[in-house]
A and B are shown apart, each in its own frame.
Chain A
Amino acid sequence: MFNRKLGIVDLSKGKVKVSDTPDSLRKAFLGGRGLNSHYLYKMIDSGTDPLGPKNVLVFGTGFLTGTLVPNSSRFNVSAKSPESGILGDANCGGYFAAELRYAGFDRIIVKGKANRPSILYASDGKIEITDAKDYWGLDTTDVQLALKKDLGGVESAVCGVAGENKVRFACVRTGVKNAAGRCGLGAVMGSKNLKAVSAWGKDGIDIAHPEEMLETCAELKDYLMKSKITPILGSVGTPLLYEVSNAFGAIRTKNSQLNAWSDSLNAEEVEKYVDKMIGCSSCIVHCRHRNSLGGEGPEYTALGLLGSNLGIENTANVIELNNVCNELGLDISSSGTYLAWAFELYERGIIDRKVTKDELQFGDFELAKKLLHDISRRRGFGDVLAEGSRNVERFGPESKDYLITVKNLPQSDPHDVRYMKAFALGIATASRGADHLRSRPTLEIFFKLPKEVRERIYGKGVTNDPTSYEAKEKTVFFSDNIFAAIDCLGVCKFICHGFNSPHFVDYSWMKRLIHAASGWNLREKDIEEVGKRVIDTERMFNNREGITRKDDTLPKRYFDDPAPLKIAMGHHIDRKEFDGMLSRYYQLRGWTADGQVKAARKKELEAIA
């Protein structure tokens, strides 16, 4: 079978139900992020406590996950976020998702709360709930190794000590580094007494048109490998971005007080600690580093948020902090943002040792490491920091002015957005809070994107001046839609049209791959509509939690403090221009002027079953 089962686990009752996902739902959302968001909207009531038993946690593979399609390793973990209080969703690679499909499942929905630490084990179309007492308290790699030893070759998605202790920015991990990092979904696992979901399978995935799939994938691989981006990502990985952002004056530094930092975190310095480059299942890019300090990474995000943002220059120190976060199961983006926030608040005297116990200062590696451990175990000031953005109430309203979040979620990547206006709109409107992976609109400044190509992709009027606000909402709209579609397919964004290149997987490739896999004849427009449906469904979830136009904004610093260094010097986001761009974005989406999904559209999406 190409379709796999939907497993619904009620941990409170200790019951498992296995059923099919109707084709009508699959055609509307395909899989992955889209179907996860649909289930969240249908199953979670407004006002539900994210750390209570009524929250629903979904592990959902993409439509093409586990097939021959290049880079089809992805799955999404979704729940109401304990960090932001709105839609929580995180996309992840590795080997777990393919294994889950081979074990017979497209998706597992977890309800309730187990009365003792538990594990879900999926295999041969069945899910068992087993005791996790021997695994509780283990770090993320140790628990996966123990599960492999005890259950035999399983792949697992787990929470670390941080998740067990319900740190609001605890992540879900698989493998040595892959993380469903954002939104505190590891804490949702911890709140349900769920240490791991393990999978082992021996069933291949039946493809509707096997020869067509072989031919299409071979052609696609050749197409992707012709790009100069693929070998660069495979040899240097995302650390290359650090040097670019730093040269530009677009790297978050010391809680965005500065926008440039040391060359010591450039890719060539990181390479000194790289043992080899590795990939996820079916990956042809191989962008991940196995580092010589006992972990994987760092990505650009870790270099920025655990390096420049904390005022740390030493490359080995940053890699060690990266490895510590991964082992404890802490989201790197949130960890680096909250630590830097606390350091600045301490420097400004907004918080003091009565709260922090220790003296806080940028550049103190040992302090940062200690605080990460303390956060994960909720010790001392770590227990305070573990509450994330909620500390605005504790630290006072002035503290909010220095917090780099949108909708209570720290900005995911280390990119200072003051220069690039489309990028700024993207993080302001992303459905899970300040996040670059929902839209990351940068293609419009691509060197030789001729006007006619730019207009074909985005529509008319988009300039390739990054500092212009003109029509930039169109780049966010386009990118939001296509990235939502590829998240539903379970394919990595690194090979998605518009993320890195116009020469990657676009709607036309998606249409061919979907046909080869399932036999469905979707039009390109149908796939684009899936993306729009996902964005609207996620917005409906957030509207129901009280999200309106007032929340689609940026950290105060990006509006009011011009960037102080390098090319970006003097640039900031103009409030009036931003407001105009936001209004135009709502018009494209068909939302009301207050950012609400209109009643007719809501009714249409609610009727999908």
Chain B
Amino acid sequence: MRLKLEFTKPFSDAVGRKVVEMEFGGNTCGELLERLSGEYPALSTKFYDEDGSVTDYLIIFLNDKPISALEGLDSEVRDGDRLLFFFPISGG
């Protein structure tokens, strides 16, 4: 399946660009994180804490919903899906 991924800072720094279109053979968001960490090693420290768990400091939107409102890392991705990765921050 083909996915369109959009990264904002600091994830875009690790990837080297903001938008990536990729072929993906997996099924879930968790698998996608693993694939991306392999492909972009600098992403690994942004996605995972030292104990190997996925960091609190990452929000992923799958189309128009955060995966936290779906099935979390088990949320299934489908052909044509768009994902947005951003850092949770507030301010004014």
Q: Using CB atoms and an 8 Å cutoff, list the residues of chain A in contact with chain B.
A: 228-229, 232-233, 236-238, 240-241, 243-244, 247-248, 263, 266-268, 287, 299-301, 412-413, 436-437, 440, 442, 445-449, 463-468, 494, 499-501, 567-569, 571
Contacts and interface: CB of A to CB of B under 8 A. Distances in A.
Contact of A465 (B8, B69, B88, B92): B69
Given A447-B60, A448-B56, A500 B92 contact: no
Given A413-B92, A569-B64, 7 more contacts: A233-B91, A287-B91, A300-B91, A440-B90, A448-B56, A465-B69, A501-B88
Contacts of A268: 9
Contact of B89 (A241, A436, A568, A569): A241
Contacts of A468: 69
A447 B91 contact: no
Please report whether the interface of chain A is mostly helix, strand, loop or mixed according to DSSP: loop
Interface centre among B9, B10, B60, B65 (most CB of A within 10 A): B9
Interface in B17-55: 18, 54-55
22 contacts: A228-B55, A229-B57, A229-B89, A232-B89, A233-B89, A238-B92, A240-B8, A240-B87, A240-B89, A243-B8, A248-B86, A300-B91, A436-B92, A445-B68, A447-B60, A447-B68, A464-B69, A468-B69, A499-B90, A500-B91, A567-B61, A571-B64
Given A567-B61, A567-B63, A300 B92 contact: yes
A504 to B, nearest CB: 11
Interface in B60-81: 60-61, 63-69
A446 B88 contact: yes
Chain B, interface residues (CB within 8 Å), range: 20 to 34
A239 B59 CA distance: 18
Interface of B: 6, 8-10, 18, 54-61, 63-69, 84, 86-92
A447 B84 contact: no
Contacts of A233: 89, 91
Interface centre among B84, B90, B91 (most CB of A within 10 A): B90
Nearest 8 CB-CB pairings of A with B = A238-B91, A465-B69, A228-B57, A464-B68, A243-B8, A244-B86, A500-B90, A448-B56
A447 B69 contact: no
A539 B9 CA distance: 39
Contacts of B9: 236, 240, 243, 266-268
Contacts, number: 104
A238 B89 CA distance: 8
Contacts of B56: 446-448, 501
Given A412-B92, A447-B60, A232 B10 contact: yes
Nearest to B84: A247
B3 to A, nearest CB: 15
Given A228-B57, A448-B54, A448-B56, A465 B65 contact: yes
Contact of B59 (A437, A445, A500, A501): A445
Nearest to B86: A244
A232 B87 contact: yes
B77 to A, nearest CB: 16
Contacts of A241: 89-91
B67 to A, nearest CB: 8
Nearest to A444: B68
A413 B58 CA distance: 23
A240 B56 CA distance: 18
Contacts of B6: 247
A447 B90 contact: no
A464 B66 contact: yes
B69 A466 contact: yes
Contacts of A447: 54, 56-60, 66-68, 88
A476 to B, nearest CB: 14
A449 B59 CA distance: 11
Contacts of B86: 243-244, 247-248
B8 A494 contact: no
A464 B56 CA distance: 14
A236 B56 CA distance: 19
B92 A301 contact: yes
B9 to A, nearest CB: 6
A257 to B, nearest CB: 21
A183 to B, nearest CB: 15
Contact of B69 (A237, A463, A568): A463
A65 to B, nearest CB: 20
Contacts of B68: 445-449, 464
Contacts of B92: 238, 299-301, 412-413, 436-437
B35 to A, nearest CB: 19
B91 to A, nearest CB: 4
Contacts of A299: 91-92
Contacts of A466: 66, 69
A173 to B, nearest CB: 16
Contacts of A300: 91-92
B60 to A, nearest CB: 7
A263 B18 CA distance: 11
B92 to A, nearest CB: 5
